[in-house]
A and B are shown apart, each in its own frame.
Chain A
Amino acid sequence: MDTRFLRNVLIKAAVIFVLLNLAFTLCYPLDELGRVSIYNSIVRGRDRLPFGENPQETYTFSLYNLEAMLQSLALDGDPKAANEYRVLVLGDSSIWGTLLRPEETLAGRINATGLTSCDGRFVRAYNLGYPTLSLTKDVMILAAARRYQPDLIVWAVTLQSFPKNVQLESPLVQNNPQRISALVADHGLDLPVETLVEPNFWQRTLIGQRRPLADWLRLQLYGPMWSATGIDQLYPPDYEPAQRDLDEDPTFNDWSGPELGFEELSFDVLSAGFEIAGEIPVLLVNEPILISSGQNSDVRYNFYYPRWAYDSYRAMLAETAGLNGWSYLDLWDLVGADQFTNSAIHLTPQGVSVMAEEISAALNRLACGEPAVPPAPTPVPTATSLPVAPTPTPRVETVPTQTPTPTQPVYTDWRDYPILPTVSDTAREIYQRGLAMGNNPAAFSKVGDCETGSDWFLRTFDVQPPLYRLGEYDHLQEMILYFDGSFSRRSVVAKNGFNAATALSPIWADPAVCLSGETPLACEYRIHKPAIALIAFGTNDTKNPDRFEGDLRKIIEITIEAGIVPVLSTKADNLEGDHSINETIVRLAVEYDIPLWNFWAAIQDLPDAGLRTDKMHLTWAQNYFDDPVTMEKAWPWRNLTALQTLDIVWRGLQSTP
């Protein structure tokens, strides 16, 4: 053997290997490689995404090349037919179909119903579920699968997919950091994307990527076995059934209640999914859960969920869906406890059929351009008696001395002021002057901090179909219709972190809509031309309470000067410790002779005075004013008393001063 020849061969091989590695590292063509597939050509496409740990028996396994996974699906086969109404079904293992054959999954059952859309296209559903609980995982799959031209997306979710700390735990998410980084950047998601590890130079080489490369190859090699047998999962005759007797533990995700915080759940990721779907309709489904009747079932519904957490989640999801106009089905209690298999969310084939029936009906309506849920009849006021907020008795009346002369009753203690305002001649004069200046009598503005800019403050009263029940307060409906549009309007001067000073600082005005040098307050008034301003500051002003009075005075005077009736609200909390801010608010309302909405007084009889454990934010429930249970929370009281205040002020302003 010529050693020189051998040496040259080795050197050349080494050089070629290094160059190949370098080229691979620079191009990093995993997605391109994923598009090379024997599925849908040599072998038939799969019915669900590859997942599993036992490829020798199931001919499938877990890999993380999303492109290769999608290419292996039947969805990636022939182009969409002209007579196909394509439905993509997203979700967790209950949608993927743990212990279910492909035809027994939700997508399979929908296909079995033989639905057609109103224009005669046949409905074909594709299973894009994947067995980990993370909304971010769902959104990543949706973003990649949108190119398949769906006509509708069914997205099944459950509370366990919502906590922020589970979003990046799915291995599929962790192994696709570039896709997740792009989602975070494009949709401003609040996710700790920096914790995801991007592959370094060495990890991007052929050697560093040998596992993904081998996975891609194995996926192709298992194709013929899958195609021949249709097996992609083991179906053991015996499995450990889902727990029915539960621990007494009342915590969820280390939270102990009494309710979930909106900011602790990834509703931003949910919204991103709808943004990605764009014009494609999405049917959001709260999937069925096992409702146990065993031990400690008074504390927990099942292994996953304590009752307080799940109830809170359902209310938030329904409210958020309503506020955003999303099509939403809450199927949480649709399926009986005997129709769950090895987990509180895994259904038997019969359970899936029940779920598929409901979803198919909604899907049929959506496919025909109708709402997913038929409009509910107009709520009828019930005779339920409500806890009525107390009207305090005045302690001592004093004679006011300020200018203008107040025409309202004056109390020595701010706490004694009624919850609801009276309308003075001063307010009527401001209103009339404002109308002459061109203000819109059917518009009001929200001026305040995050609790006033929140979607939960009044926004729901502009949403159709109504997501509220007025109960015995149905006389408010006339006013609600009159101010249509102002309830859901996003005020320029009611935002997170705002305080009284912020409203007066031009640097905080939104440059997209405000003029140069304009304050947020002036900007809001110029754009919306309201007749009434609900002004609710104080919670974010506790750092400098001594300067709060001066700032609030300026806000009141600017408002009056603009011919807008200022309505001052007290705040629920006492972060400053001596209630001095509420005292200031009430004193200025009296001094300027303008309406006062003493919200603080409305919630003092509620549990924990209507405050969450941070002693700052309000407890939340839906706006069902006829439900004594929801009326134990502060938000429905805030909305109810705000509506009552608006109603009184609106009616009171109509008479001539």
Chain B
Amino acid sequence: MKNKGIAAMILLGLVLAACTGGTSPAATAVEQYLGALVGQQPETLTTLVCSGWESQALLEMDAFGAVAPELQDLDCEETGTEDGTSLVVCAGRIVTTYNNEKSELELSDWTYEVIQQGGNWLVCGYH
């Protein structure tokens, strides 16, 4: 009886551990990309994006050049794959401040495209 109880506890623990899951590497890559974007870190940013998308990524970063951006409530999740590309959607927003005026850009409007290349997960665009 005692053994059955222990087994049940272990099983329950395993189930709960499975349920908690964890952030996928693709989602982590997008979170790091957004962090570098608002942090205005071009060197970091270029290591997190595909080479073909590097110039657009720098442009996306420059677009925040005058507005003091800040990430709020960021939480990214891989929602599926399409032709070998992982699709990631993020909750949260980028809050920008310009001349004491705040604006918000909702992140949930966009789906980020991420691929694995040479062991690294790289952001290759969004739509």
By a beta-carbon cutoff of 8 Å, the part of chain A in contact with chain B is 190, 263, 449-450, 496-502, 504-508, 511, 516-517, 540-541, 543-544, 547, 550-551
B99 at the interface (CB under 8 A from A): yes
A496 and B101 contact, Cβ closer than 8 Å, known pairs A501-B65, A507-B110: yes
- For B126, what are the chain A residues with a Cβ–Cβ distance below 8 Å? 506-507
Interface set, chain B 87-101, CB cutoff 8 A to A: 96, 98-101
B36 at the interface (CB under 8 A from A): no
B12 at the interface (CB under 8 A from A): no
A496 CA to B126 CA, complexed, in Å:
24
Task: Establish whether residues B99 and A507, one from each chain, have CB atoms under 8 Å apart when the complex forms.
Answer: no
- For B96, what are the chain A residues with a Cβ–Cβ distance below 8 Å? 497
- For A541, what are the chain B residues with a Cβ–Cβ distance below 8 Å? 62, 65-66
A55 CA to B72 CA, complexed, in Å:
52
Task: Establish whether residues A263 and B65, one from each chain, have CB atoms under 8 Å apart when the complex forms.
Answer: no
A502 and B100 contact, Cβ closer than 8 Å, known pairs A511-B109, A517-B127: no
B50 at the interface (CB under 8 A from A): no
Query: Closest approach, in angstroms, between the C-beta of B73 and any C-beta of chain A?
Result: 17
- For A516, what are the chain B residues with a Cβ–Cβ distance below 8 Å? 127
A450 and B63 contact, Cβ closer than 8 Å, known pairs A511-B109, A516-B127, A547-B58: no
Task: Establish whether residues A501 and B105, one from each chain, have CB atoms under 8 Å apart when the complex forms.
Answer: no
- Of the candidates B58, B60, B66, which one forms a contact with A497 in the assembled complex, judged by CB atoms under 8 Å apart? B66
B71 at the interface (CB under 8 A from A): no
- For A517, what are the chain B residues with a Cβ–Cβ distance below 8 Å? 127
- For A502, what are the chain B residues with a Cβ–Cβ distance below 8 Å? 63
- For B103, what are the chain A residues with a Cβ–Cβ distance below 8 Å? 496-497
Residue pairs across A and B with CB atoms within 8 Å: the count is 62
Among residues of B, the one whose C-beta sits closest to the C-beta of A541 is B65
B59 at the interface (CB under 8 A from A): yes
A449 CA to B66 CA, complexed, in Å:
10
- For A501, what are the chain B residues with a Cβ–Cβ distance below 8 Å? 59-63, 65
- Of the candidates A263, A506, A507, A543, which one forms a contact with B100 in the assembled complex, judged by CB atoms under 8 Å apart? A263
Interface set, chain B 64-121, CB cutoff 8 A to A: 65-67, 96, 98-101, 103, 105, 109-110
A498 CA to B101 CA, complexed, in Å:
13
Query: Closest approach, in angstroms, between the C-beta of A9 and any C-beta of chain B?
Result: 55
Q: Which of the listed residues A501, A511, A540 has the most CB atoms from chain B within 10 Å of its own CB?
A: A501
Query: Closest approach, in angstroms, between the C-beta of A349 and any C-beta of chain B?
Result: 43
A543 and B109 contact, Cβ closer than 8 Å, known pairs A496-B99, A517-B127: no
Task: Establish whether residues A544 and B110, one from each chain, have CB atoms under 8 Å apart when the complex forms.
Answer: no
A500 CA to B62 CA, complexed, in Å:
9
- For B127, what are the chain A residues with a Cβ–Cβ distance below 8 Å? 516-517
In addition to A450-B98, A507-B110, A507-B126, 15 A-B residue pairs with Cβ atoms within 8 Å of each other are A190-B101, A263-B99, A449-B66, A450-B99, A496-B98, A496-B99, A497-B67, A497-B98, A501-B62, A504-B63, A507-B105, A508-B105, A517-B127, A541-B66, A551-B59
A103 CA to B67 CA, complexed, in Å:
53
Interface set, chain B 32-73, CB cutoff 8 A to A: 40, 55, 58-63, 65-67
A499 and B66 contact, Cβ closer than 8 Å, known pairs A263-B99, A263-B100, A505-B60: yes
Among residues of B, the one whose C-beta sits closest to the C-beta of A164 is B100
A450 CA to B55 CA, complexed, in Å:
25
B contacts with A, residue count (CB < 8 A): 22
Task: Establish whether residues B65 and A544, one from each chain, have CB atoms under 8 Å apart when the complex forms.
Answer: yes
A289 CA to B26 CA, complexed, in Å:
65
A507 and B63 contact, Cβ closer than 8 Å, known pairs A497-B96, A516-B127, A517-B127: yes
- For B61, what are the chain A residues with a Cβ–Cβ distance below 8 Å? 501
Per DSSP, chain B at the interface is mixed
A496 CA to B65 CA, complexed, in Å:
12
Query: Closest approach, in angstroms, between the C-beta of A491 and any C-beta of chain B?
Result: 16
A42 CA to B58 CA, complexed, in Å:
74
Task: Establish whether residues A551 and B62, one from each chain, have CB atoms under 8 Å apart when the complex forms.
Answer: yes
Query: Closest approach, in angstroms, between the C-beta of A550 and any C-beta of chain B?
Result: 8
A511 CA to B104 CA, complexed, in Å:
12
Among residues of A, the one whose C-beta sits closest to the C-beta of B55 is A550
A543 CA to B65 CA, complexed, in Å:
6
Task: Establish whether residues B105 and A543, one from each chain, have CB atoms under 8 Å apart when the complex forms.
Answer: no
A536 CA to B51 CA, complexed, in Å:
31
Task: Establish whether residues A544 and B62, one from each chain, have CB atoms under 8 Å apart when the complex forms.
Answer: yes
Query: Closest approach, in angstroms, between the C-beta of A77 and any C-beta of chain B?
Result: 44
Among residues of A, the one whose C-beta sits closest to the C-beta of B110 is A507
A-B contact pairs, 15 of them (CB 8 A): A263-B100, A497-B98, A499-B65, A499-B66, A501-B59, A501-B61, A504-B63, A507-B110, A508-B105, A540-B66, A541-B66, A543-B62, A543-B65, A544-B65, A547-B59
A501 CA to B103 CA, complexed, in Å:
17
- For A500, what are the chain B residues with a Cβ–Cβ distance below 8 Å? 62
- For B40, what are the chain A residues with a Cβ–Cβ distance below 8 Å? 543
Task: Establish whether residues A508 and B101, one from each chain, have CB atoms under 8 Å apart when the complex forms.
Answer: no
- For A507, what are the chain B residues with a Cβ–Cβ distance below 8 Å? 60, 63, 105, 110, 126
- Of the candidates A508, A511, A540, which one forms a contact with B65 in the assembled complex, judged by CB atoms under 8 Å apart? A540
A506 CA to B126 CA, complexed, in Å:
9
- For A499, what are the chain B residues with a Cβ–Cβ distance below 8 Å? 62-63, 65-66
A263 CA to B97 CA, complexed, in Å:
14
Query: Closest approach, in angstroms, between the C-beta of B18 and any C-beta of chain A?
Result: 35
A511 CA to B58 CA, complexed, in Å:
22
Query: Closest approach, in angstroms, between the C-beta of B84 and any C-beta of chain A?
Result: 21
Among residues of A, the one whose C-beta sits closest to the C-beta of B40 is A543
A544 CA to B63 CA, complexed, in Å:
10
